Structure 1
Amino acid sequence: MDMSVPIQLLGLLLLWLPGARCDIQMTQSPSSLSASVGDRVTITCRASENVNNYLNWYQQKPGKAPKLLIYKASTLQSGVPSRFSGSGSGTDYTFTISSLQPEDVATYYCQHGYGTPPTVLQVIT
């Protein structure tokens, strides 16, 4: 019996999280911004309903997998510089870079999730 799993199916299974609330809408602002080295940068994220602090922040650079920076609204992922921070509760959350560095140029986004930080799978082709 062939027990192999097509990578597409595996991806779908990884995305399916029991108890996850897929109907919650997230609104992030601003959609883009310009800042100088050393500036304090703030991004906000609003959920359509209470996500009970299950809010993660990611950084993504071109051609790279997303990198988890903050989970559970304010917990810094191991190895992430302390200039990154998160705060908030209920429906309103904030991500802050206290002193912008050149290497911080990237796309940042929030993601809600009930549970531990998700695993980001990158398939190398």
Structure 2
Amino acid sequence: MTEFESLGLKSGIWQGTLRRSTPPGRLILVHMGTRVTDARATAQADGSWRIAVAIPTEKLSDGVQTFILLEDNGKDNEPPQVGALRLSSLNIVAGEPLDEDMRAEIDLIRSELDLLKKELRRLAVS
């Protein structure tokens, strides 16, 4: 069984630990259905593999960008193979328009919570 644990994004490098006894195949980063770059796997003393991949800055823009880490048996510059194993995904959220959407959602949740509190108080009194 493959287990990938994301260690997060720091300085543009997404890292994680892959716990398995066998070395991984080709590890590729995919964005919007297109192969972006290869990830690097380094053997660790405990038998796991440290995975690291740089997130290309040219792929970042306003909105939500999803990067998917896949493993397959393809060659260097080939696109991802059908049936590639999805190890994990990384969502990056950026941009001011998105901030406004999030604020609106938080305001809506607050108002619904206030309504719920009023109803619970009304029910507790009766």
Q: TM-score range by the shorter chain?
A: 0.3 to 0.5
After TM superposition, the score normalised by the length of structure 2 is: 0.41
More strand by share: 2
Report which structure shows greater RCO (CA 8 Å, sep ≥6): 1
TM-score of the two chains, using structure 1 as the length reference: 0.41
Whose Rg is larger? 2
